[in-house]
Amino acid sequence: MFDLPGSWVWDYWFADDGERYHLFFLYASRALHDPDARHHRASIGHAVSTDLTTWIQVEDALVRSDAPAFDDLATWTGSVVRRDDGTWVMFYTGASLDPSGTNVQSIGSATSPDLMRWTKTDGPLLEAAAPHYEKLDAGVWHDEAFRDPWVFRDPDGDGWHMLITARAPEGEVFGRGVVGHATSPDLEAWTLREPLTAPVADGFGQLEVLQVEVVDGRPVLIFSCGAEHATPSRRDARGGTWAAPAESLTGPFDISGAYPLTDESLYVGRLLQRREDGRWLLFAFRHLDENGDFVGGVIDPLPVEWRGDRLVVAETAPTSEHATT
For the entire predicted model, the pTM comes to 0.95
pLDDT tens digit sequence for 211-230: 999 999 999 999 999 999 99
Alpha-carbon 284 to chain mean position: 11
The pLDDT of residue 158: 85
Average pLDDT estimate for 28-52: 98
Q: Position 45: which residue type?
A: G
All structural domains of the chain, each given as residue ranges with its CATH number in brackets, are: 7-313 (2.115.10.20)
- At residue 171, the 3 state secondary structure works out as coil
Q: What is the CB-side half-sphere exposure of residue 47 using CA atoms within 13 A? A: 22
The pLDDT of residue 157: 82
Contact between 294 and 288 under an 8 Å Cβ cutoff? The reply is yes
Residues 6 or more apart from 32 whose CB is under 8 A from it? 38, 41
Closest to 229 (Cα-Cα) out of 177, 278, 273: 177
The pLDDT of residue 320: 34
Contact between 323 and 315 under an 8 Å Cβ cutoff? The reply is no
> What is the share, in percent, of the chain residues with pLDDT greater than 90?
95
The pLDDT of residue 172: 96
Q: Give, as one character, the DSSP assignment of residue 289.
A: -
pLDDT greater than 90 at residue 325: no
pLDDT greater than 50 at residue 18: yes
Average pLDDT estimate for 256-268: 98
For residue 89, what pLDDT band results from cuts at 50, 70 and 90? very high
